[in-house]
Structure 1
């Protein structure tokens, strides 16, 4: 990717925190992801899209969502077959509380990556899972996280555990034991 190779580890962490569904600066260094290297040769148009999206990310980081959206729209428009542009814009839509627009972009990523074991697909599935969970559609969230986990997402693996009611009950009891609660509630 043009320009990304010169970023510091902190800059990469900031970018990842913006575009990873739940990452924070503190946990982006090693979140358990084990994606295969799916970086492909890019065309000149892809490189232009990447640059626009990177600028959009920087604006989003500064809280300039509308300006960021303009650049991300341009990035998607010039390379409409590049899944990462839609993923980036979906994350911005989520930040803007425009969940329906985010889902449309995530649907497009999933169409473009059908049958691929790519990082873009896994991230779209994670974002979809987060949105479905937010809407209370736990079965759909679980399905999205399960596919993302199979693609290597450590975040998705954690979410599957959290969505398991037995694991949640065990975690609750363990937490009570660790706090020294005398009355453990089931």
Structure 2
């Protein structure tokens, strides 16, 4: 089996998380399956998820969802597969299905500390989805939680939701632009 390089991880992150910064907290995406008791099953799940990501990259979303669903059948307690399937559902504009999978992923992650990265991603993704659905309060709650887990993008969204901070950020950006033009 081929190992995914850091560059591959950044490309996958950019595809599945187009609204996130490219260096999403400068941490590599990690698998939540690394300490699974059944290594053979864990490898099969990882293979299904990687194939699902590959299919999604090719815009073969129904097939990608099928792969993520198979991974979920093998281990219904795997939050990563729910998060990945939610991303594919979002690409198909299936908001209800995406929201259900994100909530399931978050619920599964919340019970164990080892899924912190997936929890941060799922909360951020659900925050974006809540914003699209004009549910600003829920969006801010998700972004706030994701920020607590270290998501730089979520921190930025929380900051921008504060009108005073947003105004301050605009003024600072303007000053930095002006300074760069005078140098």
What TM-score do the two structures reach when normalised by structure 1?
0.80
Contact 1:89 1:105 in 2 (8 A): yes
1:80 counterpart residue number = 76
After the TM superposition, which of the residue ranges 52-61 and 135-144 deviates more from structure 2?
A: 135-144
In 2 relative to 1, CA 159–32 (structure 1 residues): closer, same or farther, beyond 3 Å?
Answer: farther
Q: What SS does structure 2 have at the residue aligned with 1:144?
A: helix
Q: What SS does structure 2 have at the residue aligned with 1:31?
A: helix
Structure 2 runs not aligned, ≥5 long: 179-183
Aligned Cα root-mean-square deviation (Å)? 2.7
Relative contact order, higher structure (CA 8 A, sep 6+): 1
> Structure 2 residue aligned with 1:13, among 10, 15, 24?
10
Contact 1:138 1:163 in 2 (8 A): no
1:105-124 matches, cutoff 5 A? 105-117=101-113, 118-124=116-122
Contact 1:106 1:124 in 2 (8 A): yes
Structure 1 runs not aligned, ≥5 long: 181-186
Contact 2:130 2:136 in 1 (8 A): yes
In 2 relative to 1, CA 38–45 (structure 1 residues): closer, same or farther, beyond 3 Å?
Answer: closer
1:160 counterpart residue number = 158
> Structure 2 residue aligned with 1:139, among 133, 137, 140?
137
Number of residues of Structure 1 aligned to a counterpart in Structure 2 = 174
> Structure 2 residue aligned with 1:150, among 148, 151, 158?
148
2:49 counterpart residue number = 53
- Higher helix share goes to which structure? 2
Contact 2:144 2:154 in 1 (8 A): yes
**Aligned-pair distance for 1:168?**
2.1
In 2 relative to 1, CA 115–21 (structure 1 residues): closer, same or farther, beyond 3 Å?
Answer: farther
**Aligned-pair distance for 1:46?**
2.5
Contact 2:89 2:98 in 1 (8 A): yes
Cα deviations by residue, 1:88-126 (Å, 9 ceiling, x for unpaired): 001111111111101100111122122444111111111
1:17-56 matches, cutoff 5 A? 17-20=14-17, 22-23=19-20, 27-28=22-23, 31-32=25-26, 40-42=34-36, 43=38, 44-56=40-52
The CA distance in 2 between the partners of 1:174 and 1:146, in whole Å, is 23
